Structures are given as C-alpha cells and as structure tokens.
Amino acid sequence: MEFTPPSKRCLPTKSKEEEEDDERVYQTYRNLISTLPTENGWSSSNLVLYQGSRYVPNNFLQGVMAVQQHFKARPTDILLTAIPKSGTTWMKALIFSIVNRTHYDFTTHPLLTHNPQDCVPTLETNLYRKTSITNPDLLPSPRLFSTHISCSSLPKSIIDSSCQIVYICRNPKDVLVSNRYFGNKIRAKFNKDQPLLSLAEAFQLFCKGASPFGPYWEHVLGFWKASLEQPERILFLKYEDLRSNPLVYLRKLAQHLGYPFSLEEEKQGVLEKILNLCSFQNLSNLEVNKNPDKVSHVGVEYSAFFRKGQVGDWKNHLTADMIEHIDRITEQKFHGCDFSF
C-alpha cells in the first residue's frame, strides 16, 4: 500500500472567501493571544499562559485554539498525548506500526522513509497551524493523532467521544534535559542573536512550570487522574517501563488500542519486528532522520528528535542540588499516586 503522510492527504482546496474566513478566525486567536501574560521562553519566543498551561505563542497556540474550536473526534480515533520530550516520536512509531501491521511489509515500511511525526500528525502543529491549515475530516478511519494539549484543555469533542487515548510520561529530569537540548536547537536556528539557554535557566523555568505545555507535573497528573476514572479509555504509560519491558508494554498498548496480537503473530515474531523497526537505534540511523535537509513541521531537522534516547541521562547533566530540588517537587506533587520514577 502506497503511503502519503496524513497531513498531505487532508489538504482541502479552498476558495479565496474560505481562506479569508480562516484568516479572520486566526486573527481572533492572535488578538486573544496578544492579551495573555507572557514569560521567558525556551526556544526563540516567549511562552504564553493560557488556561493554566504555557504555550509557544502564535503558530502553536493558534493551533491549540483552533483544535479546541474545530476538531471533531470520531470514536475510532486514536490519540497519543504527552508533554513534549516524553517519548512522543517513539510512541508514534509504535502506534502506527501496530495499527497498520497488515498493510505494510517490514522491508518497505513507511517508517523507513518517513519520520514518525509525519505518520501520526500532531493536531496543533501539523494540522491546525495557520500556515498549514488542513481538514482532518478528509482522513479515513482509523485516524491516528497526537497532541501535547493538557487534559483539562482537550477539546470537548475529544472528551465527549469514546476515542482511545494513550498518555506517555517520562522522568521529569530527563524531560528537562531533553527540552533544553531541543529548545536550543530552535534558538540556534531561528534566533541566532539570543544566547543558548543555560542549564541553570532551563532548570529554573522548568521548576516553576514555565516549560512548553507545562507545568510538567500538572500535565502528568491530569492524565493520570483521567486514566483512573476511565481506565478502559485512557492508557497511562511510562517511557521507562517501555524501555525496561518493551514486549509486555507493546502487548498492552496493542490490546488497549483494539489491535491485540494473535498467537500466530507472537510466533512469527511480529512484536520483535515492530520493536526493532521503532527502536532508537534503527530510526535514528535512517536517512530520513539523519539528513540535515529534512526538516520537521516545527522547523528543525528530524534528527533533533533523536538525541540519546536513554533513561537517566539527567545524571550526566544535573547538579546534586538540582536533582534534590526536582525530586522534592516530584514527591510532593505525585504524593499518593502509585507510580514513580
């Protein structure tokens, strides 16, 4: 089966009037954004506080507002949710491979030539961003999407639908380190006048909740609580668990999505093939993900989504004081939750 990235498959042909209507709608978002409180940013622009979370203004926050107002979920949709740098790229690859495993051969698989971000579009940045406004209604079911929007800000249409949701979370210390690396990639590319964000600055911003889509802890807690209320609908996963026990969690994920592996598939080694295809080692070494000319929807090269892919790299970056401080916040915020890092 020929693969075309979903964001290209849902490009509508619009009349001039329709485009002007879109522009008017997005102008209302920009007007609202210009009134919101701002704080220092991580990448090239400030972060804006909206509904209790921090967003990169204009392009991204416009996208969030458009998703909230216009996205219509279907019961067959699958939605991957996470705060940035928690393992979205990996999960996109896994979910895409699980759902499409009967359509593609492992030797000619779309993931060998397309970054996972192109296989599973992010609602607010791939589909509803002003510069690339698309119509996901044009996509056939089952549609696979991801979003970084917090649980409390998800569009009503998603809340009200019975679509499946997967949340992936990761140790906040690794999220912080990964975020700083990515934010500096964007700064270096789009804001050369600004010095790179130091570790001390990144640490301070992260701890006070001023990270993209942050605060980190509230984002995780929102989905954790929702997963307890609707366990059949929301699967809450940890990056670290997937790393240490990939087969167990791959089965769990497939089962949750309604695509369980058969005994025959287990015997044929389909699970191992999926894990190998989606592994950091494999994906990060593919031409599409290495080539500096291949640029993602957020403007940086795909290789920026593959740094180390390790659990615990924070040990190589954070000072003892930083570790103690973040651990204390995490303990306080996640007190009473039966998960830990």
Per-residue x/- marks for ligand PAP, 150-179, CB under 6 A? ------------------------x---x-
Residues in the interface with ligand PAP (CB under 6 A) total: 21
219 given a catalytic annotation: no
Which residue number, 42 or 71, has a Cβ lying nearer to ligand PAP?
42
What distance in Å separates the CA atoms of residue 124 and residue 161, rounded to the nearest whole number?
19
Rounded to a whole number of angstroms, the minimum distance from the CB of residue 168 to ligand PAP is: 8
| Residue from 217, 194, 188, 200 nearest 46 by CA | 194
Q: Tokens at residue 95, please?
A: 């979910």
Q: Which helix (H) or strand (E) holds 136?
A: none
Rounded to a whole number of angstroms, the minimum distance from the CB of residue 111 to ligand PAP is: 10
| The one among 58, 62, 81, 86 contacting ligand PAP by CB under 6 A | 86
Phi, psi (5° rounding) for residue 47?
-100, 145
Per-residue x/- marks for ligand PAP, 52-71, CB under 6 A? --------------------
Beta-sheet pairing, 53-55 with 78-81: unpaired
Contact status, residue 303 vs residue 289, Cβ threshold 8 Å: yes
H helices of 40-194, in order, are 59-70, 88-99, 116-119, 156-160, 172-190
Which region, judged by CB under 6 A, interacts with ligand PAP, from 21-29, 60-68, 136-144, 279-287?
A: 279-287
Which region, judged by CB under 6 A, interacts with ligand PAP, from 19-27, 37-45, 59-67, 300-308?
A: 300-308
Which residue number, 26 or 123, has a Cβ lying nearer to ligand PAP?
123
Q: Tokens at residue 255, please?
A: 């089962």
Q: Tokens at residue 98, please?
A: 């699980």
What distance in Å separates the CA atoms of residue 138 and residue 277, rounded to the nearest whole number?
29
CA dihedral sign of residues 136, 3, 253, 88? negative
Of 109, 148, 219, 256, the catalytic one is 148
| The one among 165, 309, 322, 326 contacting ligand PAP by CB under 6 A | 309
Residues contributing to the site for ligand PAP (CB under 6 A): 82, 84-90, 174, 178, 181, 278-280, 283, 305-309, 313
Instruction: Write out the catalytic residue numbers.
Output: 148
